[in-house]
Structure 1
Amino acid sequence: MDTTDQIILNILSTNAKASLKTLADACHLSTAAVHLRLKKLEDQGVLTGSQSEINLHQLGYQTQSFIGIYFDRANMYQPVKKALLAIDEVVECYYTTGNFSLLVKVICRDNQHLTEVLSGKLQRIDGVARTETFICLEQSFSRAVKF
């Protein structure tokens, strides 16, 4: 990966919809050359997709939380992970070191919805001993990694 690839990745990390022309102008290349570089980055597995940011509050999802999940047995990672994939409100899942085994990000309409997800879904998964919930009051910032 060279400086030109880094420029492309930095632009795309802040604007996934950046046009080939925008990328080409920033790199001082033709759009065809940028297209080839994008293809190469995709083939290498560096670029794996693109996303649009959605304002969840505008859609009625007011409660964001992080939930630490404790296993009742050490070998429960795979089955618990599979069960979590079936819960739409769980949008991110991390296998961690530290006090809990998994850390998940959960998006809900409100606290009542969160309660339903916790008691009706998460805590009923075989292998989950207990959970610890942290409700996010405000997301201070989110940023892409600079290359």
Structure 2
Amino acid sequence: MLDVTDKKILNILSKDARAPLKQIGNECNMSPTAVHLRVKKLEEQKIITGSKSVIDTYLLGYQTQSFIGIYFNKANIYRKVSQALYKIDEVVECNYTTGNFSLLVKVICKDNKHLTEVLSNKIQTIDGVARTETFICLEQTFTREIEF
């Protein structure tokens, strides 16, 4: 489905979504117009579904990042709980998992007091949440997209 050039374009864009078409073209030995057509095709195929800016939340005062394992009191409430979690601004990622937890969510808060409020007043009050287990992140060593 994807050729070597498509994969190279995806790798470049995954590192810098604002990379100029000319730069991508130089790295792929093609014109900016040809790159534009390739990117448009990847968007039409839903392989590229958007772009994003990486924001340093720590510099904006959100200095506590945590991962919270959520246990359900019933097995069939995944969608309902996920929808409720989506409404909580501090929850930035939600994953349905195997293992001990039903869900594993990533939460970003200003500090530990803010995290306590989010846990006590928002997450743990969701109907169907039996209990939670919280892991505070001391440092995010790196984050990246997979290479193709």
> Shared fold by TM > 0.5?
yes
Q: CA deviation at 1:78?
A: 1.0
How many residue pairs align between the two structures? Answer: 147
TM-score in terms of structure 2 length: 0.98
**C-alpha RMSD of the superposition:** 0.6
Q: For residues 19-78 of structure 1, what are the alpha-carbon distances to aligned partners after superposition, in whole Å with 9 as ceiling and x for unaligned?
A: 010111111111111111001000111101111110111100000000000000011101
In structure 1, the residue matched to 2:100 is: 99
In structure 1, the residue matched to 2:29 is: 28
In structure 2, the residue matched to 1:145 is: 146
Q: Map of 1:1-147 to 2, 5 A cutoff? A: 1-147=2-148
Q: CA deviation at 1:140?
A: 1.1
Q: Provide structure 1 residue ranges, at least 5 long, that are not aligned to the other structure.
A: none
Following the alignment from structure 1 to structure 2, what is the Cα–Cα distance between the partners of residues 24 and 67? 42
Paired AA for residue 46 in structure 2: G
Query: Secondary structure in 2 aligned to 1:124?
Result: coil
Query: Secondary structure in 2 aligned to 1:121?
Result: helix
Q: CA deviation at 1:141?
A: 1.2
Paired AA for residue 117 in structure 2: E
* Moved segments of 4+, more than 4 Å: none
Q: CA deviation at 1:83?
A: 0.5
Paired AA for residue 11 in structure 1: I
Q: For residues 63-103 of structure 1, what are the alpha-carbon distances to aligned partners after superposition, in whole Å with 9 as ceiling and x for unaligned?
A: 00000000000111011011001100000000000001000
Q: Provide structure 2 residue ranges, at least 5 long, that are not aligned to the other structure.
A: none
Sequence identity percentage: 67
